[in-house]
Chain A
């Protein structure tokens, strides 16, 4: 009888979550996919029929192909092969793949590494579990349930060996779970000098590592930074994108100045490129230099003496006088772009907020459990791969980039003015790609999407946490199919919004944003509405209350609309009455006790208000002047 084999690889947390920069995050996800791919290839080479993932072309399973493989693999095995032998070979293959990248990193940074610790850690990174059970011809469904339960049962006992701990060695700055493999000297000062010397001799390694003074890396973190050279966009580049597009849209002298800044970045060692993303942009570089505050810090760091304890990064230690001069030139050019004075282009400072988008299919486990035959599961796997490719394309078309698109999971970073449209397109693409499974899913399969809008100076750890919280909020209803947008202001409490896709929340948010941009809603209105939510706290939910609130709101809108227009007010009133009957957000702890209908609407407007700024910047100066709004 054939066998059904399930394999699981990890640690996902160690590879993906522990990251300081988007590039760490992307490479961690990439390497885990490559290891999983090598395992899938091994199973396939032994004659296994892959069910998940289900490659469609001969090149899909080749190393570093665009095909993304998640960390769970399911395959049907021929009765003549031993599942235990295949599992063992698959583990050997996974270790070979991981060690290949680790060896590359070691080759690139050997002088910076304590090799004893390196060897100990590299051999003890991968987590690998397998389970199998017989697969009878007519009962795939039961076999799949059995094998996944067996795998879960095996993973319930995560047998591990004790650590080979070493006293006196600091722990990795990324997760603190392993000791640092970076070479240490007797004192902190000597360590600093030792590392500086090595990095000054190897400028390329310095560029790859972007190591802060005092930052410690374990073998996984070091491999993520040093194994391959591939630039990746930073969060600051995404945040600045609407502003950059606004300048490109206007063209002329401003775009020329931006290109001059890009030229200075290209010839410098303080700025990294954005890789395959933003290639056609006038500014395909790290966005930090476009923010005056960050630029000032870069210049201050570069001009500090090497022994100054305020010097943070070895990158800045390596800056030449030419680089410092370039930074000063950028400062002058930036001032010209941003300044509202006579000779300035009045573009102001780029909006420092970006959106992280985390999406996940609803009730996927239940849907897969309903498949009666493996052919259907294979078609489902192929449909999911199709969605993953499309998701990557959609996010790129929305001027963002994905860190991970595998199966029904998407993690991407998107400019604020594009994220609503991006979420809507992803939701539509998911339902369309999986429409074949509508009957089994009891309706078209849906995608819940969480969007967190946050400042680019937040740590990446926090940005990811905000994104995952938003995703959890989006899914936090039995029916799933939610869109949650969480705004994290630099100061103050987060503003949370959640609605079901069937209520067309994306279109509604776009409408609020355009009304704010056109001056039909004033900036103050959202705050006044929030005050109203407090005033109406505890009022009973009756038609009389709703009527009173509507009238009160109409009064407020009439008073606050910067361009009074009765027709528009009536149309808002209609939206308002719908909004008032809907409970907007999950129990958040932040707003409970106030009138949920009004508070929900106030939250929508507050988020829309914050997003409108990015829309203005993306429209360029021409659009702002035409609208009669401020620069």
Chain B
């Protein structure tokens, strides 16, 4: 059985999680960052580090071996607690009377259309019922595992406030730190004319706190020696564009296990479950998990023996992911893939099996079937209950 190790990555500088736009001489003068690192970025960094620690030559055999290492994440981690992307099945809105503004929320749930109602293009699952006509209000980007635990257990939560405070369990989106750089003429040691470029990096500092915001990763490897090195890790390592520095340390499990309210809810017996993506997913079929048969919407998630029927889904617009391959013989831009955004929600009815098994076998495991995307940490699943 593969050994499980947890790593915390603390950015020293703003991290540039590059988007796909070209950057370089004449190709674009701004290196842009996504809102949060994608799984393939951190998985690549982990494998490169493991290869370097093991003095690998990165030949074909080494690369094959490294690709077999499963890396899950990245997930924000603060004061030893995991945070998850805000789920898409909450609708936060503001209503005002006079100068008084009230924030409220509703749960979004599947519904049945009434006679003579319809939608196009046809969808084989039920539409989502929106019961509010207000505009969605700005809300937290990440929720603490405590808040998420209650939400997944279908319990009440405090409406995410407008001013988000990470200590209250609601984390705002990471700020983008934009810096302007010059190219230095190596002969004159002066800035070259017209050679300006800028970078946009993710600022991980938490205002008013000395505690760092970290990124947590889970690594599973068959190599005991590697696991040992990672568990006792403590070094600076580059991450993302511009090779910005981050501190890598082995850490005890910061909560990659189901929160108590979810265990309790499932313990009481549930007939319907929700899958919320903790990291973006890359499914072979696009938006639909590739283990769900399009003919009857029934399937069994990877690592599990529970049969589920897809009833509905909340999936926002696809996001692109590509990257640059340094693999020998394949050097160059990787193909574009379309990700289901993190926070997307799939609603299932349990057809067969014990839903508790999903918590035991599938909690924060990849819901993608392709071995490569699964090992990169795409589509990590959080499982919760809902009333059908």
A residues in contact (CB < 8 Å) with B: 1, 3, 11, 13, 83-84, 87-88, 91, 127-134, 145-146, 148-154, 156-163, 165-179, 212-216, 297, 300, 309-312, 365-366, 369, 459, 478-479
Contacts and interface: CB of A to CB of B under 8 A. Distances in A.
Given A148-B133, A168-B332, A175 B118 contact: no
A150 B26 contact: no
Interface residues of B, number: 62
Contacts of B96: 478-479
Contacts, number: 184
Contacts of B25: 214, 309
A132 B130 contact: no
A178 B194 contact: no
A154 B322 CA distance: 28
A163 B319 CA distance: 11
Nearest to B282: A162
Give the most central of A84, A133, A170, A174: most B CB within 10 Å. A170
Contact of A168 (B21, B125, B333): B333
Given A134-B116, A150-B127, 7 more contacts: A83-B118, A131-B118, A153-B129, A171-B21, A173-B22, A214-B24, A478-B101
B127 A162 contact: no
Interface in B107-155: 108, 111, 113-114, 116-121, 123, 125, 127-131, 133-135
9 contacts: A133-B114, A152-B128, A167-B325, A170-B22, A171-B21, A171-B22, A177-B336, A309-B26, A312-B26
Given A162-B337, A478-B101, A149 B322 contact: no
A149 B131 contact: yes
B127 A130 contact: no
B24 A160 contact: no
B299 to A, nearest CB: 16
Contact of B332 (A87, A161, A167): A167
A153 B121 CA distance: 13
Nearest to A86: B120
B120 A213 contact: no
Contacts of A148: 133
Contact of A310 (B101, B194, B322, B332): B194
Contacts of A1: 116
Contact of A145 (B133, B135, B336): B133
A84 B123 CA distance: 13
Contacts of A366: 133
Q: Return the 5 tightest CB-CB contacts between A and B, nearest first.
A: A165-B335, A176-B20, A214-B26, A478-B96, A214-B27
A171 B284 CA distance: 21
B179 interface: no
B363 interface: no
Contacts of A478: 94, 96, 98-101
B266 interface: no
B312 interface: yes
Nearest to B340: A160
A406 to B, nearest CB: 18
Contacts of A167: 325, 330, 332-335
Contact of A157 (B313, B330, B337): B313
Contact of B318 (A84, A158, A365): A158
Interface in B187-221: 194
Given A145-B133, A156-B108, A170-B333, A87 B120 contact: yes
Interface string B6-30: 0000000000000111101111101
Contacts of B129: 149, 153
B362 interface: no
A157 B125 contact: yes
Contact of A163 (B117, B194, B336): B336
Contacts of A309: 25-26
B265 interface: no
Interface stretch (B43-51, B223-231, B285-293): B285-293
A3 B116 contact: yes
Interface string B255-271: 00000000000000000
Interface string B340-373: 0000000000000000000000000000000000
A177 B322 CA distance: 9
